[in-house]
Chains A and B, each alone.
Chain A
């Protein structure tokens, strides 16, 4: 079984067909995915800004990191669950989409980031509060985290604009025509 056949089979399961074809489920799952970006992405951003000393300076680093931890985990679980539903429903559009593949690679790097910086930054935030200044390693962790998540968000958006090579299609036509018809977030009436 090739990749193409496998993802076609995933897409065609009764469950994912239901997700794809529902007038409500698909947009609601996508909206939840986006809401998680706002609420939990906001927490990631503020944690990074705290480590950089740009925001929350009157709150100890340990409070910011520890108090947000459970929410960030919850947010990640909801976000990934929504992501899997969105992927499965259109598996054949995604699995060979270069932006999707970059996004997944960046997500794996987030895991690597957590593992690398756990001992000196996230696992022992009290030490950061005791230090006279935020150590360079913690700032590096914050910068890298910001870049990774901005990259993940951007690649997620760009997935919708990739078109599989099609010799007949005029790539230089109006943007409204070249943008992917199913995925991007413009009004239906705008898709001429």
Chain B
């Protein structure tokens, strides 16, 4: 049986790689959540009103996806430093569930409403608020690990 000992992880054995992984994680989730928020603010009708939500989605979707891929990869690297402790942490468990829900939501309902020209203002606002709430809660739960 293979046994993984986190003490052998390079990230636990020098002073710079763990914070560096965190910086990559933060910078790229900022890119993803930031670009999603730009589309959400447009759905709410509070910025870039000359552009359609669909146009903003097309302009940002590549950056959102690239950010998600890198931030999740960096997150996995961070998790290897002590996987059992993360697994047992309730904030981490919430984060993982919310992340899956948020990604599915983003690429199904959210995308459909953004691209549809016939969606009502009410639907658009609701979808934007759900999206913002989901992603914000993921950021919060990421920080709440350290305090639970």
**Chain A residues in the interface with B (C-beta under 8 A):** 23, 26-28, 30-31, 34-35, 37-43, 45-46, 49, 55-59, 63-64, 67-68, 71, 150, 153-154, 157-158, 160-161, 174-176, 178-179, 184-190
Contact = CB atoms under 8 A, between A and B. Distances in A.
Interface string B133-148: 0011001101111111
A54 to B, nearest CB: 9
B12 A34 contact: no
Interface of B: 7, 11-15, 18-19, 22-23, 26-27, 29-31, 33-35, 37-38, 41, 47-51, 55-56, 58-60, 63, 81-82, 85-86, 88-89, 92, 135-136, 139-140, 142-148
Contacts of A43: 34, 37-38
B26 A39 contact: no
Contact of A35 (B11, B14, B81, B140): B140
A-side interface mostly: helix
Given A38-B139, A46-B38, A175-B18, 4 more contacts: A27-B144, A38-B135, A174-B13, A175-B15
A27 B11 CA distance: 25
A157 B23 contact: yes
B23 A38 contact: no
A138 B127 CA distance: 35
A157 B58 CA distance: 32
A154 to B, nearest CB: 5
A42 B34 contact: yes
